[in-house]
Structure formats: structure tokens, C-alpha cells
Amino acid sequence: MTILYPAYFPNIAFFAAFVQRDDIIWETQGNYQKQTFRNRTYICNDRGKHILSVPISHVGQSNGKQRNKDVRIDNSYPWQRQHWRTLETAYRTSPFFEFYEDEIQPLFDTNFEYLMDFNLKTIETICDCLQLEMPTAQTKTFTFGSETEIDYRHLISVKNTITLSQAEYVQVFGDRHGFISNLSILDLLFNLGPQTIPYLKEAKLSLDNV
């Protein structure tokens, strides 16, 4: 059993773990923490590495911690339109943007109440694009792992340093910024298309730093 936190269009390290295992279970019971990929992802645009951050509604310290599945998205302003326009600007000239945009763009037309539901939908959409089966198993209680589990939950943290060996591929703005590793799966998908799965299977992710 391999445990992963659902993230917003997860990065390449996440999807390397995802495609190399067939026993994924989603962690849904942990507490929400800041500075994680739960509500952010990184792409590359003309200025270099760029963050896309999903706004969330904070409950305030008096209400204590929130469980991940209870975190609501702040839809009080059109962040989805902003994200989609940014993706269009960054990847319109990539080889496979037009091939996948009809599947991905609807995510930015529909309001989601809960962050976890939205994250799972972004992962499901990527699975559809790559013709992968979307895992449905979810944790019922929060535990610290066992000998029968491969714990990849730390991949959700922005601050953790991980060891990911990935081959360089052609990126839209690579001539300006050089190769930028471990971006959102969208960067890989738009640039490699059907070669995304073979690429992910060749990537080497070490557990030493997670």
C-alpha cells in the first residue's frame, strides 16, 4: 500500500511514485498544513518558475486545525480564470497543449467547494489524459504508517528536499531558463504528451529524503 496526499496538479516526483505503484491510497484524514502542494503547483512561463496557488478559506486560530478534507476553497474572486490564462500563456506553443486542453480547461470553469475534491479531480483528469486508472481507496483514520506501507505523504511538503533523478526534456522556455526539474505534471504532459508515462516510469525517486 502506497500513501499519497492529493495535491493540486501534482509534480513529477508525485506522479513518478504514482505510476510506479499499483496500490495507491489517498490520505484524507491528516490536518491541513501551510507551505505544501495541497494548494499550489509550479509551472514554467516566460519569467521562469512560476507558482499557481489555490486560495483557501481560513477558519482562524480559535477554531483549531482543519482536516484536509474540510478545507474550503475561497471562490470570492476569479482565481480559476487567472490560472487558466496563465497556463494558456505558458503552454499554448507546447507540442501537446491543444491535444489535452479540452479535458483540462473544464476544471477551471466549475467551482469546487472543497480543496480535496478539486485536487482529486485534477489527478483524475490527468489519469484520463494518460489512460490510467484513478485509484479510489481513501484512508479512514490517520496513522503514522506501518511495515506494509510505503509512505509518500511527505511529498506534499514544499520544504522537503527530495532526491529525484529525471531526464531532461524540451521545455517551452528552456532556451531562456535552462531545464527546470520537478514541475507540475502539466509541464510534462504538454511537452511530452503520450511519452509522459514511459518518462515517469524511468524517473528514480529516493525515499531517503522523504
Q: Say if residue 162's pLDDT is above 50.
A: yes
Higher pLDDT, 29 or 203: 203
Instruction: Answer yes or no: are the C-beta atoms of 43 and 186 closer than 8 Å.
Output: yes
Q: Which pLDDT does position 210 carry in this prediction? A: 44
Q: Would you kindly state where each structural domain of the chain is located, as residue ranges?
A: 2-206
Distance CA 10, CA 151 (A): 16
Which residues does 101 contact at the CB level (< 8 Å), separation at least 6? none
Grid coordinates in use for 47? 519569467
> Cα separations (Å) of 165 from 16, 27, 162, 204?
10, 25, 10, 5
* Reported pTM: 0.93
Q: Say if residue 146's pLDDT is above 90.
A: no
Q: Which pLDDT does position 147 carry in this prediction? A: 55
For the stretch 37-96, pLDDT in tens is 999 999 999 999 999 999 999 765 545 678 888 999 999 999 999 999 999 999 999 999
- Work out the average pLDDT over 24-45: 93
Q: Say if residue 121's pLDDT is above 70.
A: yes
- Give residue 137's pLDDT band: very low, low, confident or very high (50, 70, 90): very high
Q: Which pLDDT does position 85 carry in this prediction? A: 98
Q: Which pLDDT does position 209 carry in this prediction? A: 42
- Give residue 161's pLDDT band: very low, low, confident or very high (50, 70, 90): confident
Q: Which pLDDT does position 189 carry in this prediction? A: 98
Percent above pLDDT 90 for the chain: 76
Q: Which pLDDT does position 22 carry in this prediction? A: 84
Mean pLDDT score across all residues of the chain: 92
Coil vs helix vs strand at 143: coil
Q: Which pLDDT does position 145 carry in this prediction? A: 62
- Give residue 140's pLDDT band: very low, low, confident or very high (50, 70, 90): confident
Identify the CA nearest to 11 among candidates 172, 203, 145, 209.
203
DSSP 72-94: BB--SS-HHHHHHHHHHHHHTTS
